[in-house]
Structures are given as C-alpha cells and as structure tokens.
Structure 1
Amino acid sequence: MRSVTMLGPLGLAGLLLAGCANASPEQAATGAAGAAVTVDNCGREVTFDTAPERVVTIKSSTTEMLLALGVGDRIVATAYPDGPVPEEWATEAPELPVLADRVPSQEVVLEQEPELVYAGWESNFTADGAGERESLEALGVRTYVAPSACKGEGYRPNPLTFDDVFAEIREVASIFRASAAGEGLIAGQEALLAEVTPLPEPASALWFSSGTDTPFVGAGIGAPQLILDTVGLTNVAEHIEDSWAPFNWEAVVDADPDVIVLVDADWNPVEQKIEVLESNPATANLTAVREKRYLTIDFAATEAGVRTASAVAELADQLATLGLD
C-alpha cells in the first residue's frame, strides 16, 4: 500500500551531517556569529543581538526544537513537559530542571535568570502564567512564541503547511546562530516525508485528543490536519477553523470514521480513550471501534515542530498495518 522508510537516530544524524556539509558559506557564517537578528513574532518585534545563552522553554515542542538544533545546552530549565524526550535527543537532554508540570509563574521563571523564554503557546505569557511579554521584556528577558501557535490575525498559519514548520526551524536556528544545523534538520525531515506515500483510496479519520462527555479533536488548520492530509486521511472535523476544538459525539457517529487517531498523554493515555469509545453504546458501534482501527501518537508530537514529519511517517507506518488499501 505504501513505501515508508523509517530513519532511526543514526540515519537522521547522517542526514543532518550531510545538510551541514552542504551548507553555503553564508549559512555557516550565520551559524557561528553574525549581525543582530530581528524577528516579527506574533506581531511583536524581538531583536537578538547575540544568541541567547540562558533559556527557559515552556512545552515539549520548544525544548525539542533546541535539542534538535544542537543548542540544548542553552536550556537552564523547562516547564509544561508533554512527555519524555525522544530517544534520538535524550542524550542531549540531561536532567533538565522542570519548573512546573503546567505553566510556571513569572517569579519561578525569573529565578532562573533567563535571557529568553521560549513558549509553545502564546497563552503561556499571562500575568497569572509565566508573565506578560511586556513585563518580561521590561526586565530584560526576551520572549518568543512558536509561530504556529500565534493567535493574532494574520500570524497563525491557516492552514499550517510544512513550509510553515520549516520556516520556524529556520527562524529559531537564526536566533541561535545555528542556521547550518537548521538546514540539515530540514533536509532530514524532507527526506523522511519523501518516503511516505499517501493512501491510494480516500479514508476518513477522527483525531481524538481528549475528553469524555465532549470530545476535543484535531480540527482543520493546525498540525493534526497537516498530518492527516499528508498521509491521505480526511479529517471529519476539517470544517472547524482551529487547530484543536470541542466536537460532539453525535457528529462523530454521523461521520463514522474509518480510523481513529488516539493521542497518548500521561494525563489521558490511549487506554482511557479506548475505554471511552468502547463503553459508550453510540461510539462502540463505530466501524473504527468495532474493527479496532486505532492509530496512536504521542501528545508532544501533535504540535507543530521538529516532530511533525516523524509523526507523519509513524502514522503512515501504522496505517500500512490496517489494510485500508
């Protein structure tokens, strides 16, 4: 049905080195030093005269971005981890201090004396959270939000594409003067995606993120939609203009999806979601539930970032075992 080549850590490392070897002199120079880097981040101009040396990351997607770029040693602490660091980067992630299981307070963040707070969600920066961006910047702490998570009109990708994912990698790499590493990382991900063949025949999918009475699902413009599109699945919630959104079980029953993607999280594991689906008389009769056509994905891989391409390959690999061709 498909041709999928899964690249392990050594294979990805080889592609990364190849990308670095082929980097232009300009890229190599930018990776080592260079002029100030100014970015427009969610409508806010942020200037980096030098690469940040002390960084607090919030959400796994931001931690993994820096680890994948080879600048994980700049992370002084992290917060809101969505799961363990993938094996390929685990050796680069010694026991990083975790400030909070969810969003840390501004006081706790400032105790780390960071030069930069890199957040996976724009909503992490509030007075009750890590601090408002204006307040932090007034104290000399720069702030940066994963661009795919910007909420302002014209800033959040709609819909998200791999061009957007790779643009974030390039932008973060430029901030840390690691452009050669960024290009190598992108080359590896492009090679991984090139090995994925979408389903030859249409099939529908529910992206079940969380919830019991009301399911919270992957909607039509974010990473879940991009991943489903790339493997050839039609999202039953693609009409909702958001990355994730509340849905309803009646709509799920009406759609009767061919497969169900189950998001695995420590606080809401796959087993709990299967119990919800199989114990409810309405959903227990869904085709995907009766035939146990379940795909699984780690929560940390559901947000746009350095795991989006591998999430595509992993779901494609799982799809190949379901016999939907």
Structure 2
Amino acid sequence: MRSSRRAPALLAAALTLSACGGEAAGPSAAEAAPSADPAHAGYPLAIDNCGTDVEVAQPPQRIVTIKSSATELVLSLGLGDRLVGTAFADSPLPGSLESAAAGVPELSDGAPSQEAVLELEPDLVYAGWESAFSADGAGERGSLHSLGVGTYVSPAACQGAGYKPEKLDFEAVFDDIREAGELFDAQPAADELVAQQQQVLDSVEPVDGAPAALWYSSGTDTPFVGGGTGAPAMIMERLGMENIASDVEDTWTSLSWEVIAERDPEVIILIDAEWNTAEDKIHRLESSPVTSELRAVRTGSYLRLPFAASEAGVRNAEAVAELAEQLEAQRG
C-alpha cells in the first residue's frame, strides 16, 4: 500500500515550502509570495511527496519540468502556458503536444543546474526522478524551498521506504495524474485525462498465449531490463505477457545474457532512444552467438517503444495499445 500523500492544509496566506527535515522558507521569501486566492478552492494545499512536505498557497503558475514524464503530464493537463522551462527530454514530444510546448526553453539535455532553474524564477520545479534534485543538479529540495521555490516528484518515482510503490499498477498512475491535477488546480482536466486513458486500456484485449517477454531498455555487456515492479512490468502484465524478469523486485534490473538465454523470451520489447536505438539493439542481438538463438531473435519478434513510454506517466496506456497492435501485426 502506498502511504497517504495528502494532509489537511492550515497554512498562512504566504507561500511556505518546507522539506521534511524542517527547513522552511525564510521571511523574505514569505513576504514576496502572493496571498492565497479564495477563488482557488482547496488552497492552501499540503502534499507529502516522497517524504518531503510540499505546501503551496496557490496553484503554481511558473513551472519548470525535468524529465519527459513531468513535461508531458503538464502539457496533457492543458497547462503549457504555465511552463517556463523544460529539461531532460527522454524522447521527442508526441505530435499532439508539440504545439503546446512551442517556445518553451529547453534548459539542458540532462538535469539542469540550480542556477539555470532559478534564472527562470519558477514557483515550482516538477521532476520525474528524485535524483534531479541534488547539489550538482537542479538543487536540493530543502535549498530550493528556502528560496521560495516549490518542488514535486512524480510519486511513482519515489524511492524512500514507505513511498516507493511495491508494485506499480494503472490505478496508481491514475492517482498520480489526479494528484497533479489537484496540485495545479486542474482537477477536471485530470479526471478527463484519466477517463481517456482508461478508455484506451479497456479497448485492448490481452494477447493470446501469454508469451514470455523481455523488456530491453539499454546496456550492452549486461543489459538493463524491466524488472517486476515498475511501469514495464505493469504494461507487460496488462498485455497478458509473462515478464521473464518478474522475479526481480525492482523497477529495473541488470540481467545477464546467460540468464536471458535460459529464460528464452518469445518477444523482446526494445526501448528506442537516441543514445541506444532499437536498431542498435537488434544488431547486437542478431550478431551475438548467445542471443541470436533466442526464440524472439530467430523469429524477429521485436516490439518498439520510445523511452518516454517506459516510465510511469501519460504514455503508458497508449503503450499498451501500441504494443498490442504491433504484436497483432506480426502474428497476422
């Protein structure tokens, strides 16, 4: 069970953001913050986010996102006009979201520096990974809070005890969308987005035969694959596939080629990224004496997804539908 992430908020009208260690915004940040707008029901708002207390007086209006999962959720909620900067894009945006992000600055290919973030004067930094908030990255959460800048991490990416999902499922992903809707005062859009995603899932029938599948994300000497608890496992399970790494209680794991050969997947899901393309993976699989004998390699049963679809977020439901369509096309 995931810990409760919301708490009743009895906050001052000034914006107060505090890390779980007790660090709070200084007087100057509080004095500069706007008063709570009575038009926004539910504010002030407090959320326990990965063990960090995030408290906001009003819906964030100047948002920086780090990682595709965060950027795409903000855009999918129709809040592109609040984005003042993005960073760490894992894949190009889907065509349906490109125009909504037009003109938004891209700060960096990886996690941006704290200086680059602060130059944009955001009131919230929303990251897809906790690790984005570090001294050599966007800044530690407590440090940003002390400057009056809120932080938020996709709950599915929480790593601490009591916050890391034991096993991700679509209802948890939908809960994360709803919580973002609450944080950004976009609850109707969040509810509509969840309904659309559920409709996509309901349209997909599990594949026949429960084929054994490998989710191959990256790596060469030792491949990095989807484990038994994260978004890859969730997607494969919804498809009716048997994840050959389901015994690993983690989102991702390293799995030797020898173990993969023993488990002999019938289908390989290839994650396509600029730094490790699907075609590179196919070449590696087909040129190795060990992996060239895998059932999936002998039959060419490869399915492809962009990297951004492999992390918990708004692409997951469509990933289920896309993979089902690819497999159906292969089977004729």
Q: Would you say same fold, with TM above 0.5?
A: yes
Distance 1:157 1:31, change over 3 A: farther
Per-residue CA deviations over 1:285-306 (Å, capped at 9, x if unaligned) read 1110011000000101111011
- Does the alignment pair 1:305 with 2:308? no
Deviation of 1:71 after TM superposition, in Å, equals 0.6
Residue 243 of structure 1 aligns with an amino acid whose one-letter code is T
Structure 1: gaps spanning 5 or more residues: 1-29
Secondary structure in structure 2 of the residue aligned to 1:281:
coil
> 1:31 touches 1:178 (CA, 8 Å); kept in 2?
no
State the partner residue of 1:239. Answer: 247
State the partner residue of 1:130. Answer: 138
User: Aligned partners of 1:38 and 1:160: how far apart in 2?
Assistant: 24
> 1:54 touches 1:75 (CA, 8 Å); kept in 2?
yes
Residue 250 of structure 1 aligns with an amino acid whose one-letter code is E
Alignment of 1:1-325 (within 5 A): 33-323=41-331
User: Aligned partners of 2:153 and 2:210: how far apart in 1?
Assistant: 35
Deviation of 1:213 after TM superposition, in Å, equals 0.3
User: Aligned partners of 1:129 and 1:280: how far apart in 2?
Assistant: 38
Secondary structure in structure 1 of the residue aligned to 2:214:
strand
Secondary structure in structure 2 of the residue aligned to 1:321:
helix
Secondary structure in structure 1 of the residue aligned to 2:152:
strand
Per-residue CA deviations over 1:7-34 (Å, capped at 9, x if unaligned) read xxxxxxxxxxxxxxxxxxxxxxx99654
Secondary structure in structure 2 of the residue aligned to 1:220:
coil
Deviation of 1:38 after TM superposition, in Å, equals 1.3
Distance 1:222 1:31, change over 3 A: farther
Residue 71 of structure 1 aligns with an amino acid whose one-letter code is L
User: Aligned partners of 2:42 and 2:221: how far apart in 1?
Assistant: 53
Deviation of 1:45 after TM superposition, in Å, equals 1.4
Per-residue CA deviations over 1:149-176 (Å, capped at 9, x if unaligned) read 0001111111001111001100001111
> 2:40 touches 2:58 (CA, 8 Å); kept in 1?
no
> 1:159 touches 1:222 (CA, 8 Å); kept in 2?
yes
> 2:285 touches 2:292 (CA, 8 Å); kept in 1?
yes
Sequence identity percentage = 53
Tell me how many residue pairs correspond in the alignment.
295
Per-residue CA deviations over 1:259-280 (Å, capped at 9, x if unaligned) read 0000001111111111110111
Q: Which has the larger radius of gyration?
A: 2
Secondary structure in structure 2 of the residue aligned to 1:47:
strand
Secondary structure in structure 2 of the residue aligned to 1:45:
strand
Secondary structure in structure 2 of the residue aligned to 1:240:
coil
Residue 279 of structure 2 aligns with an amino acid whose one-letter code is E
Structure 2: gaps spanning 5 or more residues: 1-37
